[in-house]
Structure 1
Amino acid sequence: MPLPLDIIHEILSRCSFQTLVSVALVNTSFHHEAERLLYRKIKLTKPMGPRVIRCLTTLSTIPKKAALVQSFSAFTYTEELTAEQNELLVEGLCSSLIGMVSLQHLWLRLRSKSELVESTFLRCKFVLQTLCASACLDVTAWLLGQTSLRCLGIYEANEAPSPHKLELYRSFVQRTPVDDPLVVFNLSCANDGLIITTFAAFSPGPAWSAKIIKSSLTGVARIVDIRHFHLYLESLAEIENVISSVAICFPCVYYLTIAVRNADIHIYPDTMPAVLALLPQLEYLHIHFWDNSDAAAGGKYQDYRCQLAAAWAAKCPKLAWIMFPDQGSSHLNREGWNQVWM
Structure 2
Amino acid sequence: MDNLPIEIVEEILTKCSKHTLTHASQANKVWCAFSERILYTDIRLHSAGSTGMVTLRRCLQTLSKNRDKAAHIKSFDLYIFAALKEPDQSCLFSALVGMRNLKRLSLDIESFHENTLANTVGIALRMSTFSLTALRISSIIECDDWIASQSELKTLVIFHHESSWEPEAQDLGKWASQSHSAENISFVTSIRGWPSDLIALPGINSRSSECGWNAKDVIRLFAFSQFISTFYLFASSLLHNPRNIGICTQVSETFPEILTLVLAVKDTELEQVGDEITAIITPFLKLKYLRIRPWESQRCGSGMDNKHKYHLAQQWISQSETLQSVIFPDMTMICRSG
Q: Normalising to structure 2: TM-score of the pair?
A: 0.85
Report matched runs for 1:78-97 at 5 Å: 78-79=82-83, 86-97=85-96
Displacement of 1:203 in angstroms is 4.8
Question: Structure 2 residue aligned with 1:267, among 265, 272, 276?
Answer: 272
Question: Structure 1 residue aligned with 2:145, among 117, 141, 144?
Answer: 141
Report the RMSD for the aligned CA atoms in angstroms: 2.5
SS at match of 1:31: helix
Report matched runs for 1:55-134 at 5 Å: 55-74=59-78, 78-79=82-83, 86-110=85-109, 111-112=112-113, 113=115, 114-134=118-138
Report matched runs for 1:144-163 at 5 Å: 144-156=148-160, 157-158=162-163, 159-162=165-168
* Residue 208, structure 1, aligned to residue 209, structure 2: no
User: What letter matches 1:160 in structure 2?
Assistant: E
Question: Structure 2 residue aligned with 1:234, among 228, 233, 236?
Answer: 236
Q: Percent identity?
A: 25
Distance 1:63 1:193, change over 3 A: closer
Q: Conserved in 1, the CA contact under 8 Å of 2:168 and 2:296?
A: no
SS at match of 1:109: strand
Name the CA distance, whole Å, in 1 between partners of 2:126 and 2:191. 34
Q: Conserved in 1, the CA contact under 8 Å of 2:70 and 2:98?
A: yes
* Residue 258, structure 1, aligned to residue 263, structure 2: yes
Name the CA distance, whole Å, in 2 between partners of 1:223 and 1:137. 23
User: What letter matches 2:273 in structure 1?
Assistant: Y
* Residue 18, structure 1, aligned to residue 19, structure 2: yes
Q: Conserved in 2, the CA contact under 8 Å of 1:263 and 1:289?
A: no
Q: Conserved in 2, the CA contact under 8 Å of 1:135 and 1:155?
A: yes
Displacement of 1:190 in angstroms is 4.6
Name the CA distance, whole Å, in 1 between partners of 2:39 and 2:305. 57
Report matched runs for 1:265-304 at 5 Å: 265-293=270-298, 295-300=299-304, 302-304=306-308
Report matched runs for 1:310-321 at 5 Å: 310-321=314-325
* Residue 53, structure 1, aligned to residue 67, structure 2: no
Displacement of 1:143 in angstroms is 2.0
Name the CA distance, whole Å, in 2 between partners of 1:168 and 1:76. 30
Name the CA distance, whole Å, in 2 between partners of 1:103 and 1:65. 12
* Residue 172, structure 1, aligned to residue 173, structure 2: no
Name the CA distance, whole Å, in 1 between partners of 2:8 and 2:315. 59
Q: Normalising to structure 1: TM-score of the pair?
A: 0.84
Equivalent in the alignment of 1:248: 253
Name the CA distance, whole Å, in 1 between partners of 2:65 and 2:198. 37
Q: Conserved in 1, the CA contact under 8 Å of 2:73 and 2:99?
A: yes
Displacement of 1:9 in angstroms is 3.8
- Higher mean alpha-carbon deviation, 140-149 vs 125-134, is at 140-149
**Unaligned 5+ runs, structure 2:** none
Name the CA distance, whole Å, in 1 between partners of 2:119 and 2:148. 18
Q: Conserved in 1, the CA contact under 8 Å of 2:105 and 2:132?
A: yes
* Residue 195, structure 1, aligned to residue 197, structure 2: yes
Count of aligned pairs between the two proteins: 320
- Higher mean alpha-carbon deviation, 265-274 vs 127-136, is at 265-274
Q: Conserved in 1, the CA contact under 8 Å of 2:46 and 2:80?
A: no
SS at match of 1:288: strand
* Residue 183, structure 1, aligned to residue 189, structure 2: no
Displacement of 1:212 in angstroms is 1.9
SS at match of 1:307: helix
Q: Conserved in 1, the CA contact under 8 Å of 2:168 and 2:295?
A: no
Distance 1:11 1:199, change over 3 A: same
Cα displacement string for residues 137-166 of structure 1 (whole angstroms, at most 9, x for unaligned residues): 111222232111111211112321356632
Distance 1:233 1:326, change over 3 A: same
* Residue 309, structure 1, aligned to residue 308, structure 2: no
Distance 1:312 1:190, change over 3 A: farther
Cα displacement string for residues 277-302 of structure 1 (whole angstroms, at most 9, x for unaligned residues): 21111111111012223x53223364
**Unaligned 5+ runs, structure 1:** 80-84, 335-342
Q: Conserved in 1, the CA contact under 8 Å of 2:75 and 2:103?
A: yes
Cα displacement string for residues 159-199 of structure 1 (whole angstroms, at most 9, x for unaligned residues): 213566324312234x45xxxx4422222235897221121
Distance 1:17 1:271, change over 3 A: same
SS at match of 1:15: coil
User: What letter matches 2:326 in structure 1?
Assistant: I
Q: Conserved in 2, the CA contact under 8 Å of 1:229 and 1:256?
A: yes
Q: Conserved in 2, the CA contact under 8 Å of 1:76 and 1:86?
A: no
